[in-house]
């Protein structure tokens, strides 16, 4: 009888220090990458593959689990393990946002805390000072005084960089897109954290790159998996969020940050660091960006001002490693010529006034209160089986649901009651994390948080309630 593995060679080196399950997972991953194992192929049962390779059943269970975590296969209880179909060329999933609902999906800061009065005053100051010049085309790399002000801002985050390496960009998303444009070509491999920000997945997929997700642990990427994948692939870049990661809220330990820098050097890939809110720390622990430790110039650093200031500014910065400097400049120019001159000049004055320190402190207090309210409500109203970790900052909680309901199902059920959450499957190139949801407390007030979590808790409890059998009388 033919087997899907007929043309796949799995040669085990029993004397090697590499565990047998890793060798098996590697061989199967290679066969999937090269197309020898087509999408939807059913892999041999655990028992038959264990017998074929003369290994223990547990070795095959671990190998399949490993492949599942990396997004190569999926398993269906009672039916077997299948090769996952290739991801669509572009992520098109959208989340529907009801107008009057409780919004746990948006990570957009609430307009109540935007420094509107400061910007109104400073906009007028710019117009009085610069008149029509504020509306002319600007240098692609950015308004030079703003780049200098950014250089100083970065020093307060532990980053020392020459002003020549700083580019002003129209938000963090543009930074990711520029990285994709200059570093990712069709067929290239890009590493991302698993799970990761869906906007980055879409950018890399739009370049035709193959995305490999490295499982994220509470203190950073799983280094064993990362090393394993580095034996299989030569990535162009690894896209990471070392502080208050989206969607998990996890932050890297210093050891893992250093290990990542060492691996980038050894294997010659760039790290693209998306620092979208490391300032938003609740426990006053300073969480330095990876860039602050980057003595070998391997990190393309992207800083967004959307979460810590206002998303509508559409301003951010990137620091490019020297070999990428020219490419980033050109890619930015051909993307949108330059970011708004009027807003760059206004942000420049805002940063120079130094009131941003107080603004950030106010944001920390504001979101810390919402986070505490969310944690309290989760503990009080959700079934005990729901797992989550208190983040040290940021805007997100990452919740593992009990068996019996997926994130997508919970999303649909909550939507019917005008409560919006984001299913975990949103954060993977190939629909993993279907047992998880992201709950963001950025856009919901404390009363709404309690009300929304109560509704979620009721849905989960109803789903898990044991079905009683009524006697027919």
Ligand X SMILES: Cc1ncc(COP(=O)(O)O)c(C=O)c1O
Q: Is 249 in the site for ligand X (CB under 6 A)?
A: no
Q: Is 306 in the site for ligand X (CB under 6 A)?
A: yes
Q: Is 138 in the site for ligand X (CB under 6 A)?
A: no
Question: Which residues have a Cβ under 8 Å from the Cβ of 49 and sit 6 or more positions away?
Answer: 5, 24, 43, 60
Q: Which is nearer to ligand X, 175 or 321 (CB)?
A: 175
User: How many residues bind ligand X, per CB under 6 A?
Assistant: 14
Q: Is 199 in the site for ligand X (CB under 6 A)?
A: yes
Options 76-84, 116-124, 171-179, 428-436: segment touching ligand X (CB under 6 A):
171-179
Report, in angstroms and rounded to the nearest whole number, the Rg of the chain calculated over CA atoms. 24
State whether residue 167 is helix, strand or coil. strand
Among 101, 142, 172, 393, binds ligand X (CB under 6 A): 172
Options 155-163, 167-175, 202-210, 321-329: segment touching ligand X (CB under 6 A):
167-175
Q: Is 246 in the site for ligand X (CB under 6 A)?
A: yes
Q: Is 151 in the site for ligand X (CB under 6 A)?
A: no
CA dihedral 22, 27, 32, 37 (to 10 degrees): -130
Q: Is 107 in the site for ligand X (CB under 6 A)?
A: yes
Q: Facing residues of 102 across strands?
A: 419
| 285 in Cβ contact with 252 (< 8 Å) | no
Among 23, 243, 304, 440, binds ligand X (CB under 6 A): 304
> CB burial class (10 A; 0-12, 13-18, 19+) of residue 240?
buried
| 189 in Cβ contact with 235 (< 8 Å) | yes
Indicate the angle between helix axes 20-33 and 223-232, nearest 10 degrees.
50
Q: Is 126 in the site for ligand X (CB under 6 A)?
A: no
Residue 275 is inside which H or E element, if any?
strand 270-275
Q: Is 194 in the site for ligand X (CB under 6 A)?
A: no
Cα distance between residue 213 and residue 197, in whole Å? 11
> Min. distance of Cβ 317 from ligand X in angstroms?
10
Q: Is 173 in the site for ligand X (CB under 6 A)?
A: yes
Q: Which of 395, 351, 341, 360 is nearest to 170 (CA)?
A: 341
Q: Is 177 in the site for ligand X (CB under 6 A)?
A: no
Q: Is 276 in the site for ligand X (CB under 6 A)?
A: yes
> Min. distance of Cβ 307 from ligand X in angstroms?
7
Q: Is 220 in the site for ligand X (CB under 6 A)?
A: no
Site residues (CB under 6 A) for ligand X?
Answer: 107, 171-173, 197, 199, 241, 246, 274, 276, 304, 306, 311, 316
């Amino acid at each position: 009888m033919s087997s899907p593995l007929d043309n796949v060679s799995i040669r085990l080196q029993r004397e090697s220090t590499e565990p047998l399950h890793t060798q098996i997972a590697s061989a199967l991953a290679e066969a999937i990458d090269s197309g020898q194992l087509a999408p939807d192929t059913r892999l041999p049962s655990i028992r038959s593959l264990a017998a074929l390779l003369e290994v223990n059943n547990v070795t095959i269970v671990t190998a399949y689990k490993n492949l599942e975590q990396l997004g190569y296969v999926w398993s269906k209880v009672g039916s077997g393990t299948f090769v996952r179909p290739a991801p669509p060329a572009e992520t098109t999933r959208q989340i529907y946002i009801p107008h009057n609902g409780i919004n746990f999906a948006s990570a957009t800061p609430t307009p109540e805390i935007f420094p509107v009065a400061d910007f109104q005053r400073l906009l007028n100051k710019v117009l009085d000072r610069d008149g029509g010049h504020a509306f002319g085309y600007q240098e692609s790399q950015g308004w030079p005084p703003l780049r200098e002000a950014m250089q100083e801002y970065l020093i307060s985050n532990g980053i020392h960089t020459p002003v020549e390496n700083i580019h002003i960009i129209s938000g963090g998303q543009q930074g990711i897109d520029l990285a994709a444009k200059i570093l990712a070509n069709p067929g290239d491999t890009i590493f991302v954290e698993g799970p990761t920000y869906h906007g980055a997945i879409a950018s890399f997929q739009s370049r035709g790159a193959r995305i490999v997700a490295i499982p994220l642990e509470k203190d950073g990427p799983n280094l064993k998996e990362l090393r394993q994948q580095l034996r299989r692939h030569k990535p162009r870049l690894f896209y990471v969020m070392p502080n208050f990661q989206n969607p998990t809220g996890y932050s890297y330990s210093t050891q893992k940050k250093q290990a990542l820098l060492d691996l980038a050097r050894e294997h010659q890939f760039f790290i693209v660091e998306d620092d979208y809110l490391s300032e938003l720390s609740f426990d006053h622990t300073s969480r330095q960006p990876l860039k602050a430790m980057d003595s070998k110039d391997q990190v393309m650093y992207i800083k967004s001002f959307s979460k810590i200031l206002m998303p509508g500014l559409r301003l951010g910065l990137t620091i490019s490693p020297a070999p990428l400097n020219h490419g980033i400049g050109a890619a930015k120019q051909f993307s949108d010529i330059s970011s708004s001159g009027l807003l760059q000049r206004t942000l420049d004055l805002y940063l120079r006034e130094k009131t941003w320190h107080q603004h950030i402190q106010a944001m920390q207090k504001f979101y810390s209160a919402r986070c505490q309210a969310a944690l309290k409500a989760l503990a009080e109203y959700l079934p005990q089986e729901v797992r989550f970790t208190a983040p040290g900052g940021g805007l997100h909680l990452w919740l593992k649901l009990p068996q019996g309901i997926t994130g997508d199902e919970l999303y649909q059920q909550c939507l019917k009651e005008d409560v919006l959450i984001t299913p975990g499957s949103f954060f993977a190139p190939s629909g993993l994390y279907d047992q998880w949801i992201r709950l963001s407390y950025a856009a919901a007030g404390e009363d709404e948080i309690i009300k929304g979590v109560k509704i979620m808790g009721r849905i989960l409890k109803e789903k898990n309630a044991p079905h009683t059998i009524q006697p027919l009388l």
